[in-house]
A and B are shown apart, each in its own frame.
Chain A
Amino acid sequence: MSCQNEIILKVDNVHRAVKKNGTTVNTVDGISYTFNKGTIYNIVGPSGAGKSSFLRLLNRLDDPTLGEIYFHEKLITLYPPTELRKKISMLFQTPYLFEGTVRENLKYCCQHDDKTIAEILSRVGLKPEFADKQAEDISGGERQRVALARALLLNPVILLLDEPTASLDPTLSQSIERLILELTKNFCLTTIIVTHDPDQARRLGGNTLLLVAGRLIESGPTDIVLNNPTTDSARRYLNRELI
Chain B
Amino acid sequence: MIETGYFQVLAAAALAALAFILAKVKSIPVEKDIAFGSVRAFIQLIAVGYALEFIFKLESLWLITLAVAIMIVVASYTASQRLPKSKRPFAVSLIAITAGSVITLVLMLLLGIITVEARYIIPLSGMIISNAMNGGAVAFDRIGSDLKANRLAVETSLALGKNWREASNRFYRMAIKAGMISILNFLKTVGIVALPGAMTGMILAGASPLDAVLIQLVVGYMLLSAVTITTIISAELAIRQYFNKAEQFTG
Of the stretches B50-58, B148-156, B179-187, B191-199, the one at the interface is: B148-156
Of the stretches B108-116, B160-168, B225-233, the one at the interface is: B160-168
**Which residues from 52 to 76 on chain A have a C-beta closer than 8 Å to any C-beta of chain B?**
59-63
Query: Cα distance A151–B160 when bound, in Å?
Result: 7
Known: A61-B158, A63-B248. A82 touches B163 (CB 8 A): yes
Identity of the chain B residue whose Cβ is nearest the Cβ of A154 in the assembled complex = B161
Of B156, B158, B159, most A-chain CB atoms within 10 Å? B159
In the complex, number of A-B residue pairs with CB atoms less than 8 Å apart = 52
Identity of the chain A residue whose Cβ is nearest the Cβ of B155 in the assembled complex = A61
**Which residues from 116 to 150 on chain A have a C-beta closer than 8 Å to any C-beta of chain B?**
150
Q: Which of B152, B153, B159, B249 contacts A85 (CB 8 A)?
A: B159
Q: Does B9 contact A (CB under 8 A)?
A: no
Instruction: Note all chain A residues with C-beta closer than 8 A to B159.
Output: 59, 61, 85, 89-92
Q: Does A33 contact B (CB under 8 A)?
A: no
Known: A82-B161, A86-B161. A61 touches B248 (CB 8 A): yes
Query: Cα distance A61–B161 when bound, in Å?
Result: 11
Known: A81-B246, A82-B247. A96 touches B156 (CB 8 A): yes
Residues of B within 8 A of A (CB): 152-153, 155-163, 246-249
**CB pairs A–B below 8 angstroms (19 shown):** A59-B159, A60-B246, A60-B247, A61-B158, A61-B248, A61-B249, A62-B248, A81-B247, A82-B161, A82-B162, A83-B161, A85-B158, A85-B159, A85-B160, A86-B160, A92-B159, A96-B156, A98-B153, A109-B160
Residues of A within 8 A of B (CB): 59-63, 77, 81-83, 85-86, 89-92, 94-96, 98, 108-109, 150-151, 154
17 other contacts beyond A85-B160, A89-B161, with CB at 8 A cut-off? A60-B247, A61-B248, A61-B249, A63-B246, A82-B162, A82-B163, A82-B247, A85-B158, A85-B161, A92-B156, A92-B159, A96-B153, A96-B156, A98-B153, A109-B160, A109-B161, A151-B160
